[in-house]
Structure 1
Amino acid sequence: MKTRIGSALLLASACAALAACGGNYSGAPVASGGSGDTGNATSGSFSTPQDFFAARVEPNLGFCRTCHIPGGVADTAGTSAATQGNLFMLSGDSGQDYNNVMTAWSTLGKGVASSKLLTKPSDPAQGHTGGQPWPSGSQPYSAMQTVLGCWDNPSGCAALLSGAGGTPVAQQQPLLGGRHSGNAWNSYCANSGNPLPDSAVLPADPRSLVVAGVNQGKAVVFNTYWRSCSNPTPQPATCGQYRQQLVQGALIGEGQGQVGTATMFSGSASSTVFSIPATDYNNLWKVWGLPGRPAQFDQLVAERHGSALAPNRNPYPLPGEDPNKSNGGSGQLPLVYTQLRKADGSWTGNIGVKFCAFCHNGQLGTAADGAGMGAQYGGAGSIGDFEVAFRDFTAAGAPAFLATSGLLNIASNRGTGAIDQFQLGFVLFSGGDPSALPIADLIHSGAIGTIKSPPWWNLSNRPQKFHGAILPTDASRIDMAAYYPLTEGILGGAGAKAALAWVDQSDVPFQTWAQSLQSPAWPYGYCANTDGTPGPNDNPACINTPLAQQGAVLFHSKNLWAADLNNTVPAPSGGGNGSCASCHGAYSPRYVNDSTYLDTPALEGIAARTVPMNVIGTDAIYGEANQSLRNANGTIPQAAQGNAFLYCGLGDQYSTAGNAPIMLAPPLYGIWAAAPYLHNGSVPNIWGVLKPTEDRPVIWQRASAPVPAGLPASVVMGYDSDLQRAYDPAKLGWNYAVVKCGDPGTTPGVDCSLSNPNGPAPDGGLLGNLYKNFWFLWNLPIQTAPPFTKQQIENRKVYNTLLYSQGNQGHAFTAVLTDAERKAIIEYLKTL
């Protein structure tokens, strides 16, 4: 990656060496455009074709120059028509464009209507990687047609110029830029630093625009739609209500030590069995087998349990401290914990669990690595290990955590878990009513298995929830599942009503807060400004601006199912242009403001397309397990329909023909910060996602942070989040080591085979068949031993793609990309 853009070539937004952006420029002529519109300039406006070219054609060539320059995407001299992009080449000097285009025209066989200079960027059938920037009859098309007419028939040029010209060249939107997720109400109420009054009425939620018929025939496809739910707490209608809900919702999402903070299965109660006294918490070092309480105790709790230390004060009392005489105490808790307080503000000395934070928060380096780095609220860090944490709490004297520290096995790996486990949801949230439990269906439904939590910062960009369009996004109750006051709710009666009432007061404010989150920006900035001019950044990890611009074109325009690519994966039905954006949404200002992509720019960044498993091809266990609750005729058991958390109905997953599983393409804001990838976290970096035939390790392990000096080797550390040391900016993901069968973390003959390390688990699928037919078996510690020793804890950092629900297959349609194209797309994804 270049450290500074200094040459004239790069200043002109040249691309790094790529392949085939320009596509086929040497194939047979295509009848397209005819004589076309020759424009409406006044007679005599241009006296020579050079004058006309400079005014009406050359300004359009900036887009072509993104690829068609030496060393650029289209600089390919293949043997097939599809790879001879070097037949049309420009240079870094726009003053040479006239001669270069004429040379290309001659090389490509001359002509006018048949010229590839016209047909390639205008005819969808030609498979131009950059899409169709010159539609037939458009200003760029007509202007180029006039120039070609002059070259083809010089004697008739004066007549063409006297009545030609086309309209003036339109100013193009930039390829890079746009927002970093977050609800549209954020910027509206902030009003560029001049906050609107509380009385200001909020605009419509952009997701509410995603209804049947939206974006019909456009490049970006929406086929899963918004549904408004009858939430007892309404969505905010004014900036004042929005700000009020942000404050209330923050107590759920990130509250630490404030009165009213929500904790695991307890709502905002100040007393709960799901807590641990600070006296026991302070003795965790004894559970770890250390000879004394280390000076780095707070850091070690965070490392062992998989959490960042809270970035703000999050106190607990140290041994001998009275929390009410020390403002809560002088200890600092990880962000997954909080000390409970009574309604009068007094501290209790008991530590509760911010359960959602184990899966939805992370760590990206430190604040010294750049603005927004460090602890991440609502992210997708995949670092938490509540199995280890709750085992520690149980051993320290908090028996309420026993069920999830040995008796049950909710998460087989650090950073993942069966967190979409609908079966437990039915049991826990039935309000004590046995008629609300579809018993037989629950017993014989499939275990969902390993899931990686999506980041909250993209919640505002999707109309349905979870990896498989399981529920409408506006169905807010489910977001309180981990904080539902369980001891009251599970018994039924008045307690269940009170528990649900707390949920209904908290869910919409929490969602308002979660949807306000913004994804972190790439911490190293651009090597040059987004317009291609030199920037001040010479960090080796800075974004190569021209390469990212090329990636923006590829992401939004390259048809992965173009005829000459021979993609072996069936194309998704329902239209679209076959690009990444077709499923994941449009982000680049140039395409967001292009009416052939989106009906309105308000739809920027929204992803609302489901695809069947024969297209996405990822591990099917998750989708099949969700379908296992449906009856053979596609209906849902009556008992399931009565569950209080399904008050707004189910998502599109449960209305597919033939009970076929589907997956929902996610928005990609902050994707660089959300490794590992796919719905189960089986692929460590984006490079592996884009190159499915290679670079996907079978068994692998992310690096752990180094043990601090002076501490014994028996200390358990979390994942290394140092961006300089542990992150791969070229492949976009955390560094990892390949684990071989027989290495620690594997059991030959059980979860791998020395004779066939890349094959299926050698148990012949026995455990898998059991998990598919008896969901509760997944929750028994069969596949993964309870974490009692350091080695058992370290084994939980090993990801084995041979195991149930952990396959790393899928996304195979990106095999048609070249490595150069992958590099450009990755560079662009850094900008989101």
Structure 2
Amino acid sequence: MHRKQLLGILCIIAFITLSATVTNKMNNGEKPEPIPAYQQQVGDAQKGYEYLVTGNYVSSGFPYKFYKLIAGKDNTNLLNRTGKNATVPFGFNVIKNEQGIDMVVPNCLQCHAQVFNNQLYVGLGNSFIDFSNTKKQSNIFTNATFQLLKTIAPKQFEGTQTIVQSFKTVYPDLQTEVRGVNAADRLAILLVAHRNPVTLQWSDSALLKIPNEVIPTDAPAWWLLKKKNAMFYTGFGRGDFGKFLMLSNLLTVKDTTEAATVYQHFADVLAYIKTIEPPKYPKPINQSLAMEGQLLFTTKCSKCHGSYGADAYYPNLLIPEKIIGTDSLLYKSNQQNPQFIQWFNTSWFAGGAHPAKLVPYNGYIAPPLDGVWVTAPYFHNGSVPTLEGVLNSKKRPKYWSRNFIKPSYNYESVGWNYTEHQEANNKKIYNTTLPGYGNYGHNFGDELSEADRKAIIEYLKTL
């Protein structure tokens, strides 16, 4: 039998198998739910890249002269930029503010780029970011050096006021329980709580009640976005992706006039993101074992995660919590909070010719797996260090840490080499017993033999 015919038959078997599983869950009224597609704007990818790495979507920052004095010149220039942008790390842009002063501002690559094996990959989620000590880090705005320079060169510091206002308000409340996870959802909640939904103007006092939880996430790879019909782990973000991609603008935006100007660039940014391809697995692959893994993947995994290659198909399925079983705090807290959903769905972002909206869901989307080998740690909260652990729940460490200074990758288990601990006595150790940090659920691989898991992992290296 021709291999393609065999794969087709196995897809039918997979559908029948999953349908039986879904039928068993129907007693709870739960079944996977497809996300409809939304028409996205078309842009210029090259212009989008230039705006991403040099643009002023964050319009307030720190004077370039002050930044150089404190941080010095960065000589890596991993983005091969020119001018002053060549002298700052890839997570910052140098822009001119309204007064013509060069300012260093944060950009999207703070969270959406990572160095792996001495190479920068734009679009790879930054799993080495550290939000575990933001209360201490926020003291930069009150230290003596900052205040002295502000007194000596007040004109230079006029352009810092907006970002300092935002950071002093939100940064102390961004603190996560471990390093290496992202607090982006928390940042969004804090920023919208201080902004009028219609005008986007800042309010020193919170306009909404802010919940206590800081729920961790692992920044997903940007190259997956070209396949997705909705954004975020719950398929929460529907409609125009550009509106969601520009949310970092809430750090410094003055009003909707500025927001509209920034928004004009984000069809281009989306066009660039859609050109990003995942890096290829750099080690030798056992092709015969990978072929076995492909057949197993087709029967066991493809119904939710899609198929790959010439006949690629991604179903955009939301998987109910009772089926997936993973830590539910992200969607139960952040992404089902009615006041924030109402804020967004009545805000400037929900208006215009290309509106966006938030649609809550009790579960998570089954993501595409392109380049999955390089995206460790795994699950929406980064709680599982290896693919081996994803497919075998018994191999998920309860307390674990990895080296942030000299990280090393395990190309067999596929993921970060880690150290297992008996307890979590500091924030360098991932503690999966904490609410929101759980590593349970997605137990579908537990029924596989060890040989079958190895074959599937070998296949996943090819994606």
Tell me the TM-score normalized by structure 2: 0.79
Work out the CA distance in 1 between the residues paired with 2:49 and 2:220: 19
Q: Deviation of residue 507 (structure 1)?
A: 2.1
* Corresponding residue of 2:84: 328
Work out the CA distance in 2 between the residues paired with 1:445 and 1:391: 20
User: Which is higher, the Rg of structure 1 or of structure 2?
Assistant: 1
Q: 1:418 to 1:381 in 2, by over 3 A?
A: closer
| Deviation sequence 1:545-575 (CA, Å, 0-9, x none) | 0011111111112xxxxxxxxxxxxxxxxxx
Q: Answer whether contact 1:687 1:822 (CA < 8 A) is retained.
A: yes
Q: Which sections of structure 1, spanning at least 5 residues, go unmatched?
A: 1-59, 67-119, 130-220, 230-234, 237-241, 267-271, 285-292, 300-308, 316-326, 367-373, 489-495, 525-541, 558-578, 593-603, 655-660, 707-719, 721-725, 746-794
Q: 1:226 to 1:122 in 2, by over 3 A?
A: closer
* Corresponding residue of 2:383: 682
Q: 1:586 to 1:222 in 2, by over 3 A?
A: farther
Counterpart amino acid of 2:129?
A: G
* Corresponding residue of 1:811: 442
Work out the CA distance in 2 between the residues paired with 1:61 and 1:342: 63
* Corresponding residue of 2:414: 732
Q: 1:279 to 1:630 in 2, by over 3 A?
A: closer
Q: 1:732 to 1:431 in 2, by over 3 A?
A: same
Higher strand share: 2
Q: Deviation of residue 652 (structure 1)?
A: 4.6
Q: 1:64 to 1:224 in 2, by over 3 A?
A: closer
Counterpart amino acid of 2:423?
A: C
| Deviation sequence 1:148-176 (CA, Å, 0-9, x none) | xxxxxxxxxxxxxxxxxxxxxxxxxxxxx
Counterpart amino acid of 1:614?
A: K
* Corresponding residue of 1:500: 259
Q: 1:628 to 1:483 in 2, by over 3 A?
A: closer
* Corresponding residue of 2:116: 364
Work out the CA distance in 2 between the residues paired with 1:435 and 1:123: 54
Q: Which sections of structure 2, spanning at least 5 residues, go unmatched?
A: 19-31, 147-159
Work out the CA distance in 2 between the residues paired with 1:121 and 1:450: 37
Give the match's secondary structure for 1:807: coil
Identity, % of aligned positions: 25
Q: Answer whether contact 1:612 1:662 (CA < 8 A) is retained.
A: yes
Q: 1:646 to 1:700 in 2, by over 3 A?
A: farther
Q: 1:252 to 1:280 in 2, by over 3 A?
A: closer
Work out the CA distance in 2 between the residues paired with 1:343 and 1:458: 36
Q: Deviation of residue 665 (structure 1)?
A: 0.9
Work out the CA distance in 2 between the residues paired with 1:333 and 1:121: 51
Give the match's secondary structure for 2:246: helix
Work out the CA distance in 2 between the residues paired with 1:444 and 1:328: 39
* Corresponding residue of 1:350: 103
1:645 equivalent to 2:349? Answer: yes
Q: Deviation of residue 481 (structure 1)?
A: 0.9
Q: Deviation of residue 412 (structure 1)?
A: 4.1
* Corresponding residue of 1:146: none
Work out the CA distance in 2 between the residues paired with 1:225 and 1:616: 20
Size of the alignment, in residue pairs? 423
| Deviation sequence 1:601-635 (CA, Å, 0-9, x none) | xxx2534000111111111100111454249xxxx
1:384 equivalent to 2:129? Answer: yes
Q: Answer whether contact 2:399 2:432 (CA < 8 A) is retained.
A: yes
1:621 equivalent to 2:329? Answer: yes
2:399 pairs, out of 677, 691, 699, with 699
Give the match's secondary structure for 2:333: helix
2:288 pairs, out of 534, 537, 546, with 546
Counterpart amino acid of 2:181?
A: T
* Corresponding residue of 1:403: 168
1:227 equivalent to 2:21? Answer: no
Q: 1:444 to 1:483 in 2, by over 3 A?
A: closer
Work out the CA distance in 1 between the residues paired with 2:81 and 2:257: 29
Q: Deviation of residue 645 (structure 1)?
A: 2.1
* Corresponding residue of 1:7: none
* Corresponding residue of 1:825: 456
1:278 equivalent to 2:20? Answer: no
Counterpart amino acid of 1:409?
A: L
Structure 2 counterparts to residues 790-801 of structure 1, below 5 A: 795=427, 797-801=428-432
Give the match's secondary structure for 2:360: helix
* Corresponding residue of 2:307: 586
1:461 equivalent to 2:227? Answer: yes
Q: Deviation of residue 415 (structure 1)?
A: 3.0
* Corresponding residue of 1:11: none
Counterpart amino acid of 2:121?
A: Q
Work out the CA distance in 2 between the residues paired with 1:684 and 1:405: 29
Counterpart amino acid of 1:328?
A: K
Q: Answer whether contact 1:252 1:510 (CA < 8 A) is retained.
A: yes
Q: Answer whether contact 1:477 1:504 (CA < 8 A) is retained.
A: yes
Counterpart amino acid of 2:90?
A: L
Counterpart amino acid of 1:247?
A: Q
Q: 1:696 to 1:313 in 2, by over 3 A?
A: same
Q: 1:518 to 1:65 in 2, by over 3 A?
A: closer
Structure 2 counterparts to residues 432-443 of structure 1, below 5 A: 442-443=208-209
* Corresponding residue of 1:56: none
Q: 1:466 to 1:826 in 2, by over 3 A?
A: same
Counterpart amino acid of 1:689?
A: V
Q: Which has the higher contact order (CA 8 A, sep 6+)?
A: 2
Structure 2 counterparts to residues 187-226 of structure 1, below 5 A: 223-226=34-37
* Corresponding residue of 2:47: 248
Work out the CA distance in 2 between the residues paired with 1:427 and 1:128: 45
Give the match's secondary structure for 1:350: strand
Q: 1:500 to 1:483 in 2, by over 3 A?
A: closer
Work out the CA distance in 2 between the residues paired with 1:247 and 1:428: 34
